[in-house]
Amino acid sequence: MGTAVTTAEVVQEVVHIIIETIGRKTSDGYAVIAVRGAQKNILPSHPCLRYLEIHNARYIEFGESITVDPKINELKLLEVGRGLQDLLTRITSAMRKSAGYFLIKEIRDSLPADRQKLLLEMGVDLNLLQFSQEMRIKEPDLLAILPRDVVRRMLKAALTLLEHQINREFAYHAVSAQVLLAREQHPFLEYVTINDIKITLGAEEVAVDERIDTIEPLKIGAALNQVLAGIDTLAQEHSGNPILETLKAQLTLDYMTKLEEFGVTLIVPASDMTVVLRDVIRTLVFLLTQVSSQEYAIHTLNTFLHDSDDRSAILHFISVKNVLGDDGAPNFSVMIDIQHVSENDTRRAIQGLLETMVRSLGESLRGSFIEKFQTSLDKPTLARIEKIGVNLHMIALHVQLREQWMTGGKG
């Protein structure tokens, strides 16, 4: 059995392919300068890239143009993945449309399967990036973008994302159902047809009649907001992963400008506490999986959720279940059977859950659990739970004092 590929190896190989590909069309020196410049620009946002060192062109002939400090292997996969994806996006955005597409294709064709698998675990989907570049190639001029183009592009992108994230069947049913539902309030959506291309051979997946161009843009935008919000909710319920932010990342400036004119917003509402709860639960599963199997971690967390006291009663509406990913690998989904959650209920639920969990952990895990939770949680979610009054430091201190009191009482 071969040695498992590391994060450092994947980063090194991807950056090497980038420099080699750009160098074939320009020069090795230019390629190094271009990639190193992109790295420098995004370094403040992605400190993980400080472990990547790109040397001068004279080192290339000795195979030492790129070195990656093994310390990068100690970082979270998604943290490194975000940095690597941002680096790719920055580089391809500076290239001609077709050149960016072929760069991603070169990376995808050159990387072995085990490297691509780790990239996916890091959140870098080369197929999705290539699709984004393909759409960029086909991008029309801003003035030539018609309402039908906007509707078709958004729904087609949603279909593609859901197919990658879940599967084709779910993508078709989710998008078609939300278009049909929104049609009751926006009758002009009768001009939009979502086709199951497995059945309707030769048809476009998203067909938009030109008559929709006669509808006021803001009305079309209101309909798109409703459809996309519904699709995002279905995606979160099924896989625990929203798609709005990812969808936004697939759009070029031309389409983002048009969407603003239409009043379309691709932002998860800040008041949606279910998003916060889902991120918290997913992080807790991740942490428990580090010291046990995923199946046992999910069983343990469900026990905490459903045996919580009255002050955390909202947790009874949350459950975690095992699912299989598209590649057949074990995954999990966070189900929240409630639509509207107040900030006060969310704060009490998170605090109660964390305190209960920490008290139940073994002594070897108890002391560092809150710290690990804090560093593992996505920064936007961490900021939101702190804003609503969840004080992780006080939770850790409270558990520590309780433990000291109980120890003293026994003595």
Phi, psi of 52 (to 5 degrees): -100, 125
State residue 233's pLDDT score. 82
Rounded Cα distance, 182 and 225, in Å: 10
* pLDDT band at residue 62 under the 50/70/90 scheme: very low
Element (H, E) at 52: strand 52-54
Mean pLDDT calculated for residue range 267-274: 62
Q: With bands split at pLDDT 50, 70 and 90, how would you rate the model's confidence at 411?
A: very low
What is the chain's percent helix, strand, coil content, to nearest 5? 70, 5, 25
Q: Per-residue confidence at 240, pLDDT binned at 50, 70, 90?
A: low
Residue-by-residue DSSP string for 182-240: HHTT-GGGGGEEE--TTTSTT--SEEE-GGGGGS-HHHHHHHHHHHHHHHHHHHHHHHS
**Position with higher pLDDT, 314 vs 193:** 193
Consecutive H or E run containing 67: strand 66-68
Which among 130-134, 171-175, 232-236, 390-394 has the top mean pLDDT? 171-175
- Nearest 10 degrees: CA dihedral of 11, 12, 17, 18? 60
| Cα 182 from chain centre | 26
For the entire predicted model, the pTM comes to 0.41
Rounded to the nearest integer, the mean pLDDT of the chain is 80
The three-class DSSP label of residue 207 is strand
CA distance 78 to 46: 11
How far apart CA 144 and CA 298 sit, in angstroms, is 51
CA dist 304 and 298 (Å) reads 10
How many degrees, rounded to 5, is the angle at CA 295 between CA 293 and CA 300? 95
So what's the pLDDT on residue 365? Answer: 64
At 35 the three-state DSSP class reads helix
The contacts of residue 183 (CB under 8 Å, 6+ apart) are 189, 190
Closest CA to 327 of 112, 116, 102, 92: 116
Question: Are residues 192 and 155 in contact, defined by beta-carbon separation less than 8 angstroms?
Answer: yes
CB 198: neighbour CB atoms within 10 A? 9
pLDDT digits (tens, 9 = 90+) for 171-196: 889 999 999 999 999 999 999 999 87
Partner residues linked to 194 by β-bridges: 206
Average pLDDT for residues 270-279, to the nearest whole number?
74
pLDDT of residue 279: 83
